[in-house]
Amino acid sequence: MTPKTGTLYGIGVGPGDPELITLKALKVLQKIPHIFASCSSKNSYSLALSIVRCHLNGAGIEHLPFPMTRDPQVLQEAWEKNAIRVLEVLDAGSDAAFVTLGDPLTYSTFGYLLKTLKRLQPGVRVVTIPGITSYSAAAALTHTPLTEGEESFSLVSGALGAARLREVADKSDNIVMLKTYRNFGEIYRTLDELDLLDRAVCISRCGLDGETVVENLRDLKAESMPYLSMIIIKKKGKGY
């Protein structure tokens, strides 16, 4: 008889507060024997894992190193290696979970893992459990409606600078920019140029130690931000 292969659960653990996790994710995490968490190739710290650690019941934990590079070949090789390791565990008959910050299909390493797994083994069983995104939690924290009525909304990344912000600034009523930390200076100057500084709020480390909300971006003199920072821009203003 062919042994049963396991299922991989891609679990969004929310943005920081361990209570912002779904019941579905909690139930899986409390019974799953094996948990994968991505980490940088330099150390084994995983924020996603630290968020759910208080919910775990003795699951085995394995880190999957994810090099901090943009070199597509290095990344591809790393994800292939990681996917092969996940498949080994599933093929041995064990279920496993991959925990990831916020939602697993929103700017997440899980998306790369999923694609690689499907390519290597098209029949692989994967269940994705959505998570509360960082920007939903930040909107809740700051009482900022992300869209109302017929308004539009764009989610962009600041990882490569302010170009994406410029692309959507004309077209969208509301914009969320994630990954603002490295290019904050350029993003700030672009918001100033587009006359949007007074329409923006900056949220760092939402739900975590050191949580900060800056309602007036002009107060942000520094050109650097914590890694976990984002900007919510409402072109029509908050309305209160």
Residues near ligand SAM, by CB under 6 A:
15-16, 101-103, 106-108, 133-134, 138, 178-181, 203-208, 227-230
Residues paired with 31 in a beta bridge:
none
Nearer to ligand SAM, 82 or 204 (CB): 204
Instruction: Report yes or no: 71 and 9 within 8 Å, Cβ to Cβ.
Output: no
Instruction: Output the smallest distance, CB 138 to ligand SAM, in A.
Output: 6
Instruction: Output the smallest distance, CB 50 to ligand SAM, in A.
Output: 12
Instruction: Output the smallest distance, CB 135 to ligand SAM, in A.
Output: 6
Nearer to ligand SAM, 5 or 106 (CB): 106
Instruction: Give the pair of three-digit tokens for residue 53.
Output: 């650690």
Nearer to ligand SAM, 55 or 205 (CB): 205
Instruction: Output the smallest distance, CB 112 to ligand SAM, in A.
Output: 11
Closest residue by Cα to residue 99 from 150, 142, 53, 136: 53
Closest residue by Cα to residue 136 from 174, 170, 169: 174
Nearer to ligand SAM, 101 or 124 (CB): 101
DSSP state at residue 25: H
Instruction: Output the smallest distance, CB 92 to ligand SAM, in A.
Output: 29
Nearer to ligand SAM, 107 or 112 (CB): 107
Closest residue by Cα to residue 84 from 109, 105, 113: 113
The phi, psi pair for 202, rounded to 5°, reads -110, 130
Instruction: Output the smallest distance, CB 206 to ligand SAM, in A.
Output: 3
What SS3 state is found at 61? strand
Nearer to ligand SAM, 120 or 214 (CB): 214
Distance CA 88, CA 91 (A): 5
> Strand pairing of 125-129 and 7-12?
parallel
Q: Which residue is nearest to ligand SAM (CB)?
A: 102
